[in-house]
Amino acid sequence: MMIDFVPDPGLYPFTSRWFDSSAGRVHYVDEGSGPPIVFCHGSPTWSFLYRHVVKGLRDRYRCIAVDHLGFGLSERPAGFGYTIAEQAAVLGELIDHLRLDGFLLMGQDWGGPIGLRATTARADRVRGVVLGNTAFWPIEPPANRAFSAIMSTRPMQRRILEKNLLVEKLLLGRTGPALTAAEADHYRLVQPTKEARRGLAVMPREIRAARPLLEELAREVPARLGDKPALAVWGMRDVVFRPEACLPRLRSSFTELSVVELHRAKHFIQEDAPDRIVDAIARRFP
């Protein structure tokens, strides 16, 4: 199924583009010119999350922001599993389709492992890496694993599918970023039905189910991308990917890592501190 929602051009002033991957039709934006940078969102967001960052960088970079299948305006294809491995394979197809070379990758939340999985296989074409509040290693903290277990139960899966729980409570709830009503609707209305939310329901399970992939990434990222210029833009108030646990792991994985601490930002850093992110990327990758 496809999503009928049409973004407000005042909030999302980009031309929609489409790629027919082997698994389904992918929506993305491709704005500006210059060195390419691929933006990967996590759950329960879509490329709308990067709107301020794209607007701030498209005068000097070619900004490509993708909606993973099951998210945003992309298709919800029958038979697709919505796993991290499957999403990464589709992203790799898009990168190859666009013939990107010398590109930057930015990933946040699940966009980190999705993007890194796609780029480790294309390391010779990667210019650098930008990561924000994510992990590419097995997720061990008890709170994260408890969240996965609870959200994977039948009652909570039903609430995700029927009540849009992850959007309404985690993104748009009181601990989420400050958004206008119109901005909130852009997150809410791209997940309009139970059938549209199947990808959302898979993501909490992947915290545990994707362990083999994350173990592989924990080895491959330092080996294949560890010598690339890297930037971490980190929301220091995030309780999902806590800086005291994650930043030392990043420093041990990349030999040329710069860290920008976003002291007032929580998990959704692109909403909380877009101007700081724009400035950090422009300074790190002039």
Q: What is the pLDDT of residue 98?
A: 98
Point out the catalytic residue in the list 238, 263, 275, 279: 238
- Note the helical H segments in the chain: 51-57, 84-97, 111-120, 142-151, 154-163, 165, 181-188, 198-209, 211-220, 243-253, 269-272, 274-284
Task: Please check whether residue 98 is in contact with residue 73, taking contact to mean a CB–CB distance below 8 angstroms.
Answer: no
Q: Is 109 a catalytic residue?
A: yes
Residue 37 located in a structural domain: yes
Q: Could you tell me the residue range of the domain that residue 63 belongs to? A: 17-141+211-284
Q: Supply the pTM of this predicted model.
A: 0.97
Give a yes or no: residue 164 inside a domain: no
Return mean pLDDT, the chain.
Answer: 97
Give the pLDDT score at 20.
98
Check residue 146 and give its pLDDT.
94
Whose CA is closest to 213, among 87, 145, 113, 131? 113
Tell me the CATH number at 43.
3.40.50.1820
Q: Band of the pLDDT at 27, cuts 50, 70, 90?
A: very high
When divided into structural domains, the chain yields a total of: 1
Residue 87 lies in a domain: yes
Annotated catalytic residue within 30, 41, 67, 109 = 109
97 is an active site residue: no
Let me know if residue 256 belongs to a domain: yes
Note whether residue 204 is domain-resident. no
Round to whole Å and give the CA distance between 181 and 12.
Answer: 15
Q: Is residue 267 among the annotated active site residues?
A: yes
Contacts with 219 (C-beta within 8 Å, 6 or more apart), sequence order: none
Look at the block and give the residue holding tokens 């197809």.
93
In a domain, 158, yes or no: no
CB contact at 8 A, 213 and 110: no
